Structure 1
Amino acid sequence: MAGKDKLNNTALDKLLKESITKAVTHSDGLGLSVRVRPSKTDKQNNMNWLYRYRIGDRTTSPQTIVLGNYPDLSLAKARKKRDECRAWLADNKDPKFEIALAIDKTIKPITVADALNFWIDEYAIGKRTNALKHRQQFNKWLVPALGHLPLSSIKKSHWIKTIRKRSKQYPVAAGYVLRNLQQALKYCSKKGYEIDRSVFDIDLDDIDAKKQNKRSQRLVEDDSWQRLEDLVKWLDTGNMMPYYRNLTLLLISFGCRTQEVRLAESKEFNFDTQVWTVPAAHNKTRDKDQAKGQSGEIKRPIPQALIPMLKSLCEQHKDGYLLGELKNSEAVSGWGGKVYKLLGHEDAWSLHDLRRTVATGLNDMGIAPHVVEALLGHSIQGVAGIYNRSQYLPEKLDALNKWQDRLALLRGDTNNVVMLGRVSGEAKKGRS
């Protein structure tokens, strides 16, 4: 075996100043050498560290790469780089490519902002209706402090410190940000991004976050429909922005998700077939439905009582959003979370509780459970969900027409309305 560590710092400093007329090379051993070339400025010679190696046995041609310049790259560091090259060769990796990759990472490392935007653009935009909300939250919670830093350098403590700056004021939102961050980084990790995996060990307690309270409020109960009646009559007064009045009317008419109305466009409503087709992109359960071979769309018949209102909205907002504009989900939920106070209700309820209200009311009126589930746009589980592709349009239309009759009765419009199901004793007394 050839010797190693043949050079020393004294010899290198001497070579740096030595008078020479042509390039010479001095070996340090194990493939490392220093090439000395005469200086053009008469100050000091140019010295480059070289590493010479072969890919394969001695029948292959040798290759040479430049590791750096002396004295910028010291003798000790040059030997360390040589040992890295030898380790790469032992793993059947070409040092030339490995050095190029390392330089690329150093020159332009993947930043936190790069990774978060990669997840949004490559995954969330196509899979999540709230993708833009995720980006806004990342930009508010994480990007200002960490966005410009290399992703591979961010440790668990960095994530915790950054999120906790806002978590005391917004503990529920902090948990939401953490969950999305962890999902984003899992996706990035699968795509080859280098990350510190300790981020996946962070839990809600670490960042002083809280889970969102899952209230289960319904505005109708076995012994009283009073709260829903209060809401219907209040909507009829029109003492609110038209956007929110129309939004709420459609929520209590169809039992749909808030985002399905908020994102709805006029082109989704076909008045020839009298069907509202919610596109798969707006359907929360589209992934489950499409995994079963379904389109992911939700089809709801338009009851006769709603046609005038919907036609008017579609004519006013052709080629646009049904409600005339796109409000963000925070603004909509914020408004909806205050309505119960305006109506003087003791227990808080949200816009999503209107969906539970419609489901409860329809079941209370004797509508078949599978029809109610289809109207809500729930993914049907089990074998039935795989083999039964029916949209139940006739049954849905019958259910929605009966539901419109019930709403008309609650608002006091009893002309030609037949009451179905149970009614509270107070309601009976008031209308006898």
Structure 2
Amino acid sequence: MATENKLSDTLLRKLHGKLQPRQKMMADGRGLSVRVSRQGGLSFVFTWREGGRTSIPKAVTLGRYPDTGLKQARQIRDRYRVQLAEQGTLKLENETAIQDGPETPAEEMSRPEAMVTVREALEYWFTGYAKSHRKGWKRDEERITKYVYSTLGGRPVDNCGIREWVECFEKIRVKYPVSAGAAFQVCRQALRYCRLRGYTSSRVLDDFRLSDMGSKGVKRERVLNEAEVSSLWSALQEDGGIYAPQPYLRHLVTVLVIFGCRTHEIRESTWSEWDLKRRQWTIPKSRTKNGHILVRPVPERLMPWLECLKGKHKEQDYVLGQFQTQMRISKLGSFQWQWLGHEQKWRNHDIRRTVATWMNDAGVNTWVVEHLLGHAVAGVAGIYNRAQYLTEKKQALDLWLDRLLEYSTGYLRLPDSGKNSG
């Protein structure tokens, strides 16, 4: 008689989340095994035959650890074995599983053959490729988690057909066509990556184009006019007002307006990047879009504001006090134009374009603006010239801050204090 209950909770805890040289199966006994992915994901698998030892074995994934525990997986296995003994077959689509007493629907009963799931395949790509080669991988991961994992995450990827993928992307496309297109491109690239490495074999997305599943983002041209910049800055400096319920957004947008930086640059920024004595903000190349270190001088008039913010969040590493995802900030920021009563829609990234446009119109040299924004410099200069132009950047930022302060009291409102910095 085969040995059963070979696995233990201690062993599963040690394996969970630990990178493995290859995918492997570990038997618990009596048809139950745990599949260990290269990324350390654990899935319980039940294997059986319906026609004796000469028949083709079948398998079903019972659930992912730790959402499905070892005890629960064994209960499902025992129930299946009883059904096989009594009926000679399993009807997975109508089955229930025992979970600590009352019978409840098994999460994974509708799964066919036990294979690498869609989630595991995409995680394999994120770990093996995206995190080291794509600057925007975190945003991709947020998008995939929200839209794809919730629909197809638990499905075996090699058994997931065209219809399932099309329905997944169509559901996104109804409201967010650009997000649907971006998610499709990630999934198509991830499946190709997995197939070339022998992890999966699916080619289901190969023949589709971006336009079949979503839309490509168009280059925006929105620039806030002077009246809009004035009302935005005044609202940021106002006690209470529309930003009172959203102090995180108030602080984030304040930095965006002053520096013209990318949203993720301040959203992910920690105090280790800020040298308040030298008045410099240094973004490491691992966080810049062009792969080069970016140093921005900090205007002297901003120092009391930053010191107050640091004191307010002294227990936190993040400059803004906490980490917020790009999707959440983008969604929240998309309502600001309505809060301010502006006629045309604008987004946080349009602030960056507005700062660049104003500086160029004010006579700041274009190459200084480009360096301040963190744009890649084209040609030979981009290869050999690593100058930071701190003096020129400081002059440009001071000139811009002069203009901003004309829209308010002439002072920067300290974070959530109701006091001015001057």
Q: TM-score range by the shorter chain?
A: 0.5 to 0.7
Deviation at 1:204, TM superposition (A): 4.0
Question: Which residue is equivalent to 1:302?
Answer: 298
- Identify which of 401, 405, 412 aligns with 1:404: 401
Letter in 2 for 1:354: I
1:256 aligns with 2:261: yes
Question: Aligned partners of 2:202, 2:116: CA distance in 1, in Å?
Answer: 13
Letter in 2 for 1:156: I
1:71–1:351 Cα change, 3 Å: closer
1:282–1:247 Cα change, 3 Å: same
1:125 aligns with 2:131: yes
Secondary structure at the counterpart of residue 179 of structure 1? helix
Q: TM-score normalised to the size of structure 2? A: 0.65
- Identify which of 375, 379, 401 aligns with 1:378: 375
Question: Aligned partners of 1:413, 1:407: CA distance in 2, in Å?
Answer: 8
Secondary structure at the counterpart of residue 289 of structure 2? coil
Letter in 1 for 2:300: Q
Does the aligned pair in 2 maintain the 1:155–1:196 contact within 8 Å? no
Unaligned runs of at least 5 residues, structure 1: 1-69, 78-105, 287-295, 415-432
Question: Aligned partners of 1:138, 1:174: CA distance in 2, in Å?
Answer: 10
Question: Which residue is equivalent to 2:347?
Answer: 350
Question: Aligned partners of 1:362, 1:144: CA distance in 2, in Å?
Answer: 44
Deviation at 1:244, TM superposition (A): 1.5
Question: Aligned partners of 1:144, 1:244: CA distance in 2, in Å?
Answer: 28
1:108–1:231 Cα change, 3 Å: same
1:160 aligns with 2:166: yes
Question: Which residue is equivalent to 2:98?
Answer: none
1:389 aligns with 2:395: no
Please list the CA deviations of residues 197-223 of structure 1 after superposition, one character each: whole Å capped at 9, or x if unmatched.
34122224433x333343311124xxx
Deviation at 1:301, TM superposition (A): 0.5
Deviation at 1:366, TM superposition (A): 0.8
Q: How does 1:16-165 map to 2 (within 5 A)?
A: 72-73=53-54, 109-128=115-134, 130-165=136-171
Among the aligned pairs, what percent are the same residue? 37
Please list the CA deviations of residues 304-354 of structure 1 after superposition, one character each: whole Å capped at 9, or x if unmatched.
111111122223324511111112212211222111122222111111010
- Identify which of 295, 310, 314 aligns with 1:314: 310
Question: Aligned partners of 1:189, 1:311: CA distance in 2, in Å?
Answer: 51
Question: Which residue is equivalent to 1:182?
Answer: 188
Question: Aligned partners of 1:367, 1:210: CA distance in 2, in Å?
Answer: 36
1:232 aligns with 2:233: yes
Letter in 2 for 1:268: E
Deviation at 1:189, TM superposition (A): 3.2
Secondary structure at the counterpart of residue 217 of structure 1? coil
State the structure with more CA Rg.
1
Question: Which residue is equivalent to 1:242?
Answer: 247
Deviation at 1:282, TM superposition (A): 2.5
1:331–1:194 Cα change, 3 Å: closer
Question: Aligned partners of 2:359, 2:151: CA distance in 1, in Å?
Answer: 50
Question: Which residue is equivalent to 1:340?
Answer: 337
Does the aligned pair in 2 maintain the 1:266–1:317 contact within 8 Å? no
Query: For this pair of structures, how many residues does the alignment match?
Result: 301
Question: Which residue is equivalent to 1:191?
Answer: 197
Please list the CA deviations of residues 67-119 of structure 1 after superposition, one character each: whole Å capped at 9, or x if unmatched.
xxx98449xx9xxxxxxxxxxxxxxxxxxxxxxxxxxxx99633322110111
Please list the CA deviations of residues 18-45 of structure 1 after superposition, one character each: whole Å capped at 9, or x if unmatched.
xxxxxxxxxxxxxxxxxxxxxxxxxxxx
Q: TM-score normalised to the size of structure 1? A: 0.64
Q: How does 1:275-294 map to 2 (within 5 A)?
A: 275-286=280-291
Letter in 2 for 1:398: Q
Letter in 2 for 1:124: A
Question: Which residue is equivalent to 2:273?
Answer: 268
Please list the CA deviations of residues 355-374 of structure 1 after superposition, one character each: whole Å capped at 9, or x if unmatched.
00110111111111111000
Secondary structure at the counterpart of residue 219 of structure 1? coil
Letter in 2 for 1:300: R
Question: Aligned partners of 2:190, 2:270: CA distance in 1, in Å?
Answer: 29
1:387–1:129 Cα change, 3 Å: closer
Question: Aligned partners of 1:144, 1:230: CA distance in 2, in Å?
Answer: 40
Secondary structure at the counterpart of residue 358 of structure 2? helix
Question: Aligned partners of 1:330, 1:243: CA distance in 2, in Å?
Answer: 15
Deviation at 1:167, TM superposition (A): 2.8
Letter in 2 for 1:363: N
Higher fraction of helix: 1
Question: Aligned partners of 2:154, 2:227: CA distance in 1, in Å?
Answer: 55
Question: Which residue is equivalent to 2:35?
Answer: none
1:408–1:108 Cα change, 3 Å: same
